[in-house]
Structure 1
C-alpha cells in the first residue's frame, strides 16, 4: 500500500528555478519518512494541466540529493508560497482557482491592510492593533506623526523586513527617516523638513502599496529594536498548540528586528526578564501573548478558512502592554535553532507533517 503523500507548494525565486527553504524541505522529507509520509516539493509551474500531473522535486535520502520525478497530485498540500510581485504569484492564484477541491492544509490570508481592517472590527482583537492608516496621501502620515513620535511605513505585501521605513519626529517640522531597502539593505539615516518628507511620502502614496503604523517603544538600552515571535501549530489531533516563542533583536542601526536583516535571536524568557525584571510582569505578558495567539488563529480561521500554523510578531512596550504587529501563516522556524532550542525546532518541523497525516486519514474516512 503506497504511503500518503504531502506536496509542499512553493514558488521559484528566479528563472534559474531556484527555490527558497530547500534545507527545511529536506528536513521535512526525513521526518515525514519516519512518520510514514512521503514528501514532494513543487511549484505551480511544474504542473501539467492536461494530464493533472506534476514534475515534482523529491529528496533522495540514499543519494542525499534532489531529483525530479513525475507524480500525481498529492493527498494534501502545504502552501509555503511567499508573496512576490511576479507572474509566478499569479500562477499560484490560478492553480488554487483551478483545483479548489484539493486538500489544502492552509489557506492564504489577505494583505496587511485588509488583515488590519479585520482585526479592528473584532471587539476582542482591536485593542492589540497599533493605530494604522493606508498611505494615500502624505498628510495622513503627518497626522499620525502629530499623535505619535515615531511612525513606521510598511509595504502592504512585504515580507522579511523589506522596504520598511521609520519616521521619527525631531521637532514641529523636522523628521529623521531611516529604514531598509527592498533588498533588506540598511538605508542611510537622513533628516528631512516637512516639505522634503511630504515629497517622499507622495511618491509612496502613488503606489498605493504602503501603510503607516504607530511606532511602539520597544528598544533596549543600547537603542536596538526588538520584538517577539510566537509560533502556534496544529498537532496530530488537529488542535492548536503552543510550539514556542523567541525574541528578535535588530542589529545596531536597523529599524527592524528581522533575522534575515541581520538581527539576532534571544530566548523568550530571557528577553522578557531583561525588559521587565519582575517575574510577575514577565509571566503576565507571556500568558497574554499565548492567549492572543490562540484567539487570533481562531478568528482568522473563521474569516479565511483552515490554517496549519501561525506565527505572530508581537511588541511589548515598557508598561507591559502587548501589540500585534503582524501575522504570518507561512513562518520560518530557524529562530528556535538559533537560540539553542533544538527540541522546539524539531517540533516546529514535525507538527505540520503530523497534522497532514491527521487530515489525510480524516478524508479517507
Structure 2
C-alpha cells in the first residue's frame, strides 16, 4: 500500500484544509492519507499516531510509517525543530522535499551562483554596529528575523540628516529616536532573536504602497518545475511589507505591471522575472544537493525596473492561487502530491 503522510504543526483537526490534500491523494491513487505532528512519530517503533479520515470525520489512530511525507508545518519550538531534523534524517521516512534553512543560509548559498546579480546587499546582524555600518552605507535598511515568516518582525530602519533614527516595525507606525535610544532598542532585539540586515530599495508605487511579486513554483507529476502563479502584492497604506496576512491585496502579475509600466518596460520586467524563476529552483537543488517540491519566491521591482530577489520560502502559502480561480487552487494543492507519486513510481525516494 502507498500511504501519503502530511506532517503539520497543528495538533487539532483542520477538516476542510486536510480534505484538500486527501482529495489530491485520492486523485493520485494513494491508498490513504495520514496527518500527523512531529511529536507523534516513534522512530524506534517505526510508527506514528495521526489522523485518518473515516465516515464520521478525522479520527486519531496509530499507523506504520507512511510511504512518503509532505511537510506543510511551521515549527518554532526548539524541541520540535530538533525532532523534525531527526525525522528527516531517518531514511525510513522519505519526504517530497527538504528544508532550505534560514534566510542567511539561503543568501550565502546563492552568493557564488548565477543568482548573485539578483541579490540585495545583505549582512548578518551580530551587533548593533553591524546595523549602523549598513545604515551609514545605504541610509535605509530592512532588519529581518532569520526565521521569520509572513512579514512579521521586520523593521525598516534609517538614519536622518539630523542624526536621529527612524524605526518602523511591520504593522506599526514609524517612530523617531535619538541614536542612543535606537541603539538600545536594537540591542534588545538582537538579545532575543537573530536578524539579518538588507539594503532597503524603493518598491513603492505612485500611491506610496509597498509592492512585491510572489511567484509560486512547484514540481509537477513529471518531476519538472512549473510556474503555478505569478502575482503582484500591494501593501496596506503605510505598511512596510506587502504580505497578504498583514492586510495587503494582490492581482495577477501582468495586470499589475500594466498599471505601472509601459509595454516595453513590462516586457523587460517579465523577461527578468521568468529568467530568475526558471533558473532559481535548479540552482538551489544543485548547491544544496537536495530535492524541493515547491518554492514561494518573493521579488522586488525597483523604480529603475530592475528585479531583485527578496527571499525564498520553502512552504509557501497558496492564497495567490485564488486570483486564478478554484481550478488553479486545486491544482496548487495537487502538484506536490503528483510529485510524491512520481517519486514513488520512479523509485526516487532517497534524498
Say whether 1:25 aligns with 2:9: no
1:156 alignment partner in structure 2: 146
Distance 1:22 1:196 in 2: 48
The CA deviation at 1:239 is 1.0
The CA deviation at 1:22 is 5.9
Q: How many residues align?
A: 347
Distance 2:317 2:107 in 1: 22
Gaps of 5+ in 2: none
**Of 1, 7, 10, the match for 2:8:** 10
Say whether 1:89 aligns with 2:73: no
2:160 alignment partner, SS class:
strand
2:42 alignment partner in structure 1: 48
Distance 2:136 2:260 in 1: 28
Say whether 1:137 aligns with 2:127: yes
Under a length normalisation based on structure 1, what TM-score does the superposition of the two structures give? 0.89
**Of 100, 118, 122, the match for 2:91:** 100
1:146 alignment partner in structure 2: 136
Gaps of 5+ in 1: 181-185
Contact 2:229 2:320 in 1 (8 A): no
The CA deviation at 1:116 is 0.9
**Of 326, 338, 346, the match for 1:354:** 338
Distance 2:87 2:182 in 1: 42
Contact 2:217 2:229 in 1 (8 A): yes
The CA deviation at 1:262 is 1.7
Contact 2:234 2:242 in 1 (8 A): yes
Say whether 1:274 aligns with 2:259: yes
Under a length normalisation based on structure 2, what TM-score does the superposition of the two structures give? 0.92
The CA deviation at 1:206 is 3.5
1:35 alignment partner in structure 2: 28
Contact 2:235 2:244 in 1 (8 A): yes
1:187 alignment partner, SS class:
coil
Distance 2:201 2:16 in 1: 34
RMSD: 2.0
Mapping of 1:252-331 within 5 angstroms? 252-276=237-261, 278-304=262-288, 305-331=290-316
Per-residue deviation, residues 92-125 of structure 1 (Å, max 9, x unmatched): 122223x235321111112111111111222x11
**Of 116, 119, 133, the match for 2:107:** 116
How has the CA–CA distance of structure 1 residues 113 and 196 changed in structure 2, closer, same or farther, with 3 Å as cutoff? same
1:173 alignment partner in structure 2: 163
Contact 2:69 2:96 in 1 (8 A): yes
2:347 alignment partner, SS class:
helix
Contact 1:136 1:206 in 2 (8 A): no
Mean Cα deviation higher: 38-47 or 225-234: 38-47
Distance 2:123 2:236 in 1: 27
